[in-house]
Amino acid sequence: MLGKYNTKAFISLGLTFILMWISEATDTHMNYNYTTKPRVVLPPNYVKEMRPPSKKGSPVIVDFSIFVVDINSINVEDMDFSHYIFIYRVDMFIHQRWMESRLEISDDIFEEGDDYVTLLPEFFDNLWQPDPYFLNSKIAEIATLTHKFTSVTLYKNKTVRYAARMHAIIACQMEFQLYPMDIQVCPIYIESFSSNNQKVKLRWSDSGVTLNPELKLLQYNLGQPLELEESDGYMPEKVGNFSRLTVYFRFERQIGHHLIQTFAPSSLVVMLSWFSFWLGLDAIPGRVTLLVTCMLTLVTMFTGLRADIPPVARLTFGWPDAWCRCSLPSLNLSLSKCWMSSTSTSA
């Protein structure tokens, strides 16, 4: 009987040791999955604060591209008595690509037939990374839901590709001389923040800036193709020349709304005033009533139109002003004709 209890105790003790060994092995395997991959690609002496080595005197080339998903929240803000700022929000995917020759890459981390591997976004914090920013943006943020929408892709040739979904609120100055046939050219400036042009060189990739084919704006047509530019800008606050990328968005205002709401009705009112020429010479009250009504209608219409245009410091002579200055004199001539007819009749 005692031997039977000893056998059960021995079996229980053995099962306990087996379970402890399985648990330890599982923890070791899980730690391996999450910790060994960075150790495979990052050498022990890797310093992420130092840029990748390059030929003497040459900067690190960073290829940059943008895919514009949507442009919305377009409005005008009054900054002071003479400046009106065009504000719009851009939702986009940005892609950066550069060569990191210090990485030690093992073929074990790549799946069979692939020349790249997508790593966890946290791995990007362990790498050297360029620091471009939007120079003329009010807000620029990476989109988040449960986590930041970013990804890091590593290629066998030691190229690092970083992608992120983000949105930026951009501001640019407006011009109203040709309103409502105006074209607002709004640039987006992308510049390296801390590394000057001798350390980092930003360059548009082959894809450059592409637009969502389904992108449509309510009041504007987006001019194509987009103009891209690469330059070096001197920043006195940072004391140096910094690599800069520029993309120019050309917003062409749609004139259909103004044709229906302004030009067509005012034209009909002016043509209606011409009926006074067909009235008899003795129909002076009817002629005066018709012309005065047309005059007040035009004045009310153009006053409402001017209320939609932000006032500017300098004199503007756009299409609404020219149309108003052509329509009102036509009515004045009709009134003059009416006065001359009434004078001749009384004589």
What is the average pLDDT across 245-250?
A: 95
What is the average pLDDT across 18-42?
A: 51
Residue 327 in contact with residue 305, Cβ under 8 Å?
no
Question: pLDDT tens digits for 41-63?
Answer: 788 888 888 899 888 778 999 99
Q: Is 80 exceeded by the pLDDT of residue 254?
A: yes
Question: pLDDT tens digits for 138-167?
Answer: 888 888 777 788 999 999 899 999 999 999
- The two domains 60-254 and 257-346 share their CATH topology (first three levels equal): no
- For residue 249, list its beta bridge partners: 186
Per-residue pLDDT band at 94 (split at 50, 70, 90):
very high
- For residue 86, list its beta bridge partners: 76, 172
Tokens standing for residue 197: 């042009």
Per-residue pLDDT band at 246 (split at 50, 70, 90):
very high
Measured on CA atoms in the order 46, 159, 205, 58, is the torsion positive or negative? positive
What is the average pLDDT across 227-246?
A: 88
Question: Average pLDDT, whole number, for the chain?
Answer: 79
The reported pLDDT for the residue numbered 143 is 84
Q: Is 241 exposed, middle or buried (0-12, 13-18, 19+ CB in 10 A)?
A: middle
Ramachandran assignment for 196, one of left (phi > 0), alpha (psi -120 to 50 degrees), beta (any other): beta
The DSSP secondary-structure symbol of 338 reads H
The reported pLDDT for the residue numbered 35 is 42
The fraction of the chain above a pLDDT of 90, given in percent, is 25
Pick the more confident residue, 16 or 124.
124
User: Please, how many CA atoms are within 13 Å of residue 95, restricted to the half-sphere of its CB?
Assistant: 17
The reported pLDDT for the residue numbered 311 is 57
The reported pLDDT for the residue numbered 6 is 56
Q: Is 60 exceeded by the pLDDT of residue 80?
A: no
- Classify domain 60-254 at the CATH class level: mainly beta
Pick the more confident residue, 249 or 111.
249
Distance from C-alpha of 304 to C-alpha of 337, rounded to nearest angstrom: 28
Query: So where are the chain's domains?
Result: 1-41, 60-254, 257-346
Q: Is 90 exceeded by the pLDDT of residue 65?
A: yes
Q: Is 90 exceeded by the pLDDT of residue 23?
A: no
**Domain at 257-346: CATH architecture:** Up-down Bundle (1.20)
Question: pLDDT tens digits for 107-119?
Answer: 878 888 888 888 8
The reported pLDDT for the residue numbered 340 is 67
Pick the more confident residue, 21 or 250.
250
Question: pLDDT tens digits for 305-345?
Answer: 766 665 554 445 556 666 676 777 776 666 676 666 666 65
